Chain A
Amino acid sequence: MEKKVYENLVSQHKPTETRAQNAFIAFVTGGIVGVIGQLLIEFYSYNLDISTQDASVFMIVTLIFFASLFTALGFFDKWVTFAKCGLLIPITGFAHSMTSAGMEYRKEGPIFGLGSNIFKLAGSVILYGVVSAWFFGLLRLLIMGG
C-alpha cells in the first residue's frame, strides 16, 4: 500500500478529539487560577501593607509553592490530566514541570539525576523566555527609548 493511501486509512480510524470541551475546561480552570492569583494579590497588599507589584511576587511564590507541594503529594498530575492547559500555562505548570522532573530523577543522585534533569521540561521555557525577553526589551528600547 502507498504510504499516502495508508495515511488516509489511518485518518479514517482516528477518533475526533474533544477540542472544544478541552478548551472550555482549560479556559475555566485557567480562569480560576487567575482569580486565585488576584485574590492573593489583594490579600497580601491589604494585610501586609505592600505595593501591588510586591504583592504580585508574593502571589507567584505562593502559587509555585502549592503547585510543587501538590505535585509532591502525588495528585497534581491528575488535575493536569483533567484541566490540561488550564494548569499548564499559568506559573503552576512551570513549577509542576520542575518538581515532577526533580522527583523522577532524584534516584539517580543530586548531580547526574536531579541536577541535570530538573530542567528537562522547563529548560525550553527558560531559554526561549530569556531570548524573547531580550528581544522585546531591545524593541522597547528602539521604539520607546527605554
Chain B
Amino acid sequence: MTFQYDNVYINATSTVAGPYEAKGPLGKLFDKTYEDLYNGEKSWETAEVQLLKESIDILLKKANKKKEEIDLAIAGDLLNQITSSSYAIEELNLPFLGIYSACATSTEGMIIGASLIDSGKIKNCITATSSHNMSSEKQFRNPTEYGAPKPKTATFTATGGACLYLSNEKSKVRVESSTIGRPIDMAQQDPYNMGAVMAPGAADTIYRHLTDLKRQVTDYDLIVTGDLGVYGKEILIDYMKTEYGIDISNNYDDCGTMLYDLEEQKEVMAGGSGPVCSALVNCSHIIKLMEQKKLKRVLWVATGALFSPTFVYQKENILSIAHAVSLEVVE
C-alpha cells in the first residue's frame, strides 16, 4: 500500500541521545546528549521516558509551538505496553496514538501522521519514538550487569528520544510518499542476527515502493534502512540483486552503521538498532542535509524485527516489517 501526499511538511525535528551515541560520528548533531545512561533518573525505564519527554520539549521549542496547538501525538517504543511513550505524552495532555512496529515504529508514526494531515483531518502532529539500551537489554535479554558474550552479528540498542513535527505549513522538506510494509517470515530464529531477520522485510517494502510508484533506485539520492547493521546491509544488497534484479549498492546506507564509529566503538558489534536508531540519524543528520539541499530525495525505510522472547523460546520464527517514507526537498 503506497500513498502520495501533497501538503505534508517536516517543520522541525529534535534528538536527545545517550553516551554511546554522543561518542559516535553524529554526536555533535544531537540537540542534547547525556553522559550517564540513567540521566538522573532512578530506573532504566524512567530514564527512557525522560529522554522522550525532553525531545518533545525541544521539538516544541524548535517548532515554536505551544502544546495546546498540537492536534495529535503519535509515539511508540520497545518496552512492553509501549509505556515509555504513554508516560512521556501524559504530561503534555495531548490526544495520543500509541503504535508498535518494533524498530519500524518511527516511519509508521510518520505514515499515520502524514495521512491524517493530507486528508485534512488534522493540521499538525508530533511523531516520536524512543529506545534505551539498558531497558531493552533488561526486557529482551539478560540483566544489564551480566555482560554475556554476544556473536559478531549482534546489534546494540540505541539510547535516545527523537521527534518530528509534521504539519501542512510549508517548509524546506516534505513527506512525499509512503509505503506500508507487511510482516515477513523468512524462517529466521536467531535474536542475535536481526540484520538477517529484517533484510527481507526491507527488500519487500523497497521493491513495492519502487514498483507502486514506477520509480528506479536512481530516483533517490539515498535509500536508508533502519538498523540492519553491517551484515544485514550486505544481505539486503545481495537479496535485492538476486530476488528483484535491483542494484541498490550505489546509493544505499544503513542508519545502524552510521550512528556509531564501528572501528572505535567495538561494543556496538554489528551496529545500532532500536526504534530511535534510524530516527536519530534521520532527524539529526539526513533531514539537515536535505534542508541544505545536499540530498534531494531520500527513502527512509525503518526496519523492525517483530521479536518476542516468548515466541523465540517456543521455537517460532522471528517476523520482520519495514515501513518506508519518501522525503523530498521543497523547491
Contacts and interface: CB of A to CB of B under 8 A. Distances in A.
A17 B152 contact: yes
B239 interface: yes
Contacts of A1: 186, 200, 239, 242-243
Given A1-B242, A3-B186, A13-B235, A81 B149 contact: yes
Contacts of B186: 1, 3, 6
Contacts, number: 79
Interface string A62-88: 000000000100101111110010001
B43 A78 contact: no
Interface stretch (A27-35, A37-45, A96-104): A96-104
Contacts of B243: 1
A13 B142 contact: no
Interface string A4-26: 00110110111101000010000
Given A15-B153, A17-B151, A7 B145 contact: no
A81 to B, nearest CB: 4
B188 A10 contact: yes
A80 B193 contact: no
A116 to B, nearest CB: 13
Given A7-B187, A104-B138, A107-B42, A71 B145 contact: yes
Contacts of A101: 143, 146
Chain B contact patch, size range? 20 to 34
A74 B145 CA distance: 7
A106 to B, nearest CB: 10
A140 interface: no
Contacts of A120: 143
Contacts of A125: none
B143 A100 contact: yes
Interface in B149-178: 149, 151-153
**Mostly helix, strand, loop or mixed at chain B's interface?**
loop
A106 B153 CA distance: 31
Nearest to A98: B143
Given A1-B200, A14-B193, A100 B238 contact: no
B87 interface: no
A64 B238 CA distance: 49
B146 A100 contact: yes
Contacts of B1: none
A126 interface: no
B146 A13 contact: no
A81 B147 contact: yes
A7 B142 CA distance: 27
A96 B144 CA distance: 12
B22 interface: no
A121 interface: yes
Contact of B146 (A7, A22, A121): A121
Contacts of A22: 149
A141 to B, nearest CB: 36
A10 B196 contact: yes
A15 B146 contact: no
A9 B188 contact: no
8 contacts: A3-B186, A9-B238, A14-B196, A80-B149, A81-B147, A101-B146, A121-B142, A121-B146
Interface of B: 42-43, 138, 142-149, 151-153, 186-188, 193, 196, 200, 231, 234-235, 238-239, 242-243
Nearest 3 interchain pairs by C-beta: A77-B147, A104-B143, A100-B145
